[in-house]
């Protein structure tokens, strides 16, 4: 991986720091214990610490959070519309429309130096920038056309138009903040002359303190001393839970004492995959614990022998990977770009996305204690040098330093 210095400029703006007034558009519930909102909170904490004033505009759902220097505004709540989930949907479109109206009202007061637009809210920022002449930063978590076509294949007919919209959003931005190498490459293909920075996510361990687990997993699942594989995250199709369960069926034939623990997911998805585990005959060895408090994540991960990420589609790196690397436990992951832009064979057991290969990878680590220890050691060293919270903060500060310099140049 490239170092921070090769991704971001290293000089600070002349004349010292200028306090920016930022409007951050978060087109989803905030705060929630999942990838994008967690990354946003980390970003807000860095900006606040470095003297910037941030207003956050988001959906009505989400936990209240108190971040010094930040004020949270919410759109009105639409009757009967709740539980807005990640990804493109009619619910999101309706709330995006309300987000636009409220953002226009806030921007119209003329109090912002820059709009920080996350995901599809970039199109709101683009319009507001033209109307109120406020520059914007495109916080690009993924390629929106690819994400939409993957979810709704019929939109493939409009791929060219969707790509043109994405290109316009990138080219009009003052700067683009990308979350991984594949997304950075997309942004640079649209506008190589723009300020485009790559700032990977960081570990969620220790977020909000470490309360320790509410339970011992071995006691909860009735473990008889067999090895434990663990998955953490949502249970959407792209995460590869079907693949994981099919692989574990093969594992259980050779390691009957093995257990699979799954943390996360909503009730509907848990019921669906519990049914699949029953059909595969592994329900006694697969344990769906549901969501768990984020502060306890580290304690749960450290109770596993092997951590697994079976994702089958997508290009952006799952945020869980950084916590996995930080945990001191070895990782098995599918050998796809979503993983390989961060993981390699030095720090993880990478396997082809088939039940046979994933099962082989799990069995290999279950049986080889020395390999588990060595992979975990090298993974943590890589995390500390390239993805630690300190590196994340440094990269965000450098990125906003460069934005300040660009804005000062425009004023001059």
Q: What's the confidence (pLDDT) of residue 87?
A: 72
All residue ranges of the chain with pLDDT < 70 are: 1-18, 207-214, 411-412
Q: What share of the chain has pLDDT > 70, as a percent? A: 93
Summarised one tens digit per residue, pLDDT across range 350-376 is: 999 999 999 999 999 999 999 999 999
Q: What's the confidence (pLDDT) of residue 224?
A: 79
Q: What is the pTM of this model?
A: 0.88
Q: What's the confidence (pLDDT) of residue 261?
A: 98
Q: Which of 103, 42, 105 is nearest to 394 (CA)?
A: 42
Q: What's the confidence (pLDDT) of residue 412?
A: 56
Q: What's the confidence (pLDDT) of residue 17?
A: 52
Cis peptide before 159 (omega within 30 of 0): no
């Amino acid at each position: 991986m490239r170092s921070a210095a090769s991704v971001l400029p290293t000089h600070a703006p002349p004349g010292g720091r200028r306090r920016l007034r930022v409007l951050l558009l978060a087109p989803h519930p905030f705060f929630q214990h999942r990838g994008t909102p967690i990354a946003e909170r980390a970003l807000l904490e860095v900006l606040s610490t470095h003297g910037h004033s941030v207003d956050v505009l988001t959906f009505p759902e989400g936990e209240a959070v108190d971040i010094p220097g930040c004020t949270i505004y919410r759109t009105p709540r639409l009757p009967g519309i709740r539980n807005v989930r990640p990804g493109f949907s009619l619910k999101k479109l309706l709330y995006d429309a309300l987000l636009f109206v409220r953002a226009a009202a806030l921007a119209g007061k003329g109090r912002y130096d820059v709009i920080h637009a996350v995901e599809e809210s970039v199109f709101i920022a683009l319009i507001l920038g033209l109307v109120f002449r406020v520059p914007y930063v495109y916080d690009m978590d993924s390629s929106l056309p690819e994400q939409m076509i993957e979810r709704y294949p019929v939109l493939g007919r409009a791929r060219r138009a969707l790509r043109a919209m994405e290109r316009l959003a990138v080219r009009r931005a003052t700067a683009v903040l990308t979350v991984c190498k594949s997304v950075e490459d997309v942004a640079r293909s649209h506008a190589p002359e723009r300020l485009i920075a790559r700032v990977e996510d960081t570990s969620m361990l220790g977020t909000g303190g470490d309360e320790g687990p509410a339970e011992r997993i071995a006691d909860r699942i009735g473990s008889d001393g067999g090895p434990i594989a663990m998955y953490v995250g949502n249970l959407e199709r792209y995460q590869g839970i079907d693949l994981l369960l099919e692989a574990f069926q093969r594992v259980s034939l050779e390691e009957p004492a093995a257990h699979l623990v799954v943390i996360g997911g909503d009730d509907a998805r848990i019921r669906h995959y519990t049914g699949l585990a029953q059909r595969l005959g592994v329900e006694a060895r697969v344990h769906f614990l549901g969501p768990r408090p984020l502060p306890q994540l580290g304690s749960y991960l450290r109770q596993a022998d092997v951590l697994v990420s079976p994702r089958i589609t997508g290009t952006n790196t799952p945020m869980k990977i950084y916590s996995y690397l930080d945990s001191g436990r070895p990782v098995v992951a599918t050998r796809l770009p979503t993983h390989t832009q961060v993981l390699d064979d030095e720090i993880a057991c990478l396997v082809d996305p088939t039940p046979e290969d994933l099962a082989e990878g799990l069995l290999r680590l279950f049986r080889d204690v020395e390999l588990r220890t060595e992979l975990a050691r090298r993974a943590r060293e890589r995390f500390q040098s390239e993805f630690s919270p300190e590196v994340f903060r440094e990269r965000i500060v450098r990125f906003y330093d460069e934005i300040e310099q660009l804005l000062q140049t425009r004023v001059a």
